[in-house]
Amino acid sequence: MVWPVLVLAGIEHVRIDPGNTAFTPLDFFDYPWSHSLALAAAWSVLFALMFFREGRRAAVILGLLVFSHWLLDFVTHRPDLPLWPGSATMLGLGLWNSVAATIVIESAMFTAGVLIYAFSTRPRDRIGTFAFWGLVFVLGVIYVMNAFGPPPPSVTAIGIAGIAGAALFTVWSWWADRHRTSA
């Protein structure tokens, strides 16, 4: 959610570069404040501290969830994640170099996340069923469109879509979750 804001503000930069990896047409050549290992850790600690009054366990889990974004990017990106702003050391295992391996592994991770949530919660009403499975369906459709559709038209479009998507899916998942309860 931080990255598209920094891109639109001109603080971080991305280039549309079809073939950069087999899976993504984007060249993430400058994003140290959202995507370096050091700042990812800092964002995670900051997020955990924001929820400390919910209890230490909840705060630690939320911090780890924020940090999981960096770990998942580390698996998929080619080496373009700096250690810290200004560092020349770039990290990334490059799963995106193979379209087939990307789709298999990312779909498996998405399915695992959906199943963990589906089995650890249950709907309180019909909205709890349809809002949740509707969200899963729309996220799946967007994934397929991203994987097989044309590259984005401009960097501005990437930033706007990123912010709109982050806002929409935050509100949508909050709404669905309000209509479900712990199983």
The residues that touch Zn ion, with contacts defined as CB under 5 A, are: 73
Instruction: Please state the closest distance from residue 147 (CB atom) to Zn ion, in A.
Output: 16
Torsion of CA 119, 124, 130, 132, to 10 degrees: -50
Nearer to Zn ion, 23 or 132 (CB): 23
Nearer to Zn ion, 16 or 127 (CB): 16
Q: Which helix (H) or strand (E) holds 169?
A: helix 155-178
Instruction: Please identify, using beta-carbon distances, which residue of 121 and 173 lies nearer to Zn ion.
Output: 173
Smallest distance, Zn ion to C-beta of residue 73, A? 4
CA distance 142 to 126: 24
Q: How far is the CB of 35 from Zn ion (least distance, A)?
A: 6
Long-range contacts of 136-141 (CB under 8 A, 24+ apart): 139/110, 139/169, 140/110
User: Residue 115 pairs with which residues in a beta bridge?
Assistant: none
If the CB atoms of residues 96 and 132 are measured against Zn ion, the closer one turns out to be 96
Sign of the Cα pseudo-torsion (101, 91, 27, 38, in order):
positive
Rounded to a whole number of angstroms, the minimum distance from the CB of residue 69 to Zn ion is 6
Nearest distance in Å: CB 123, Zn ion = 31
First to last CA, the chain: 29
Nearer to Zn ion, 3 or 132 (CB): 3
Tokens 């959202």: give the residue. Answer: 34
- Strand pairing partners for 16? 26
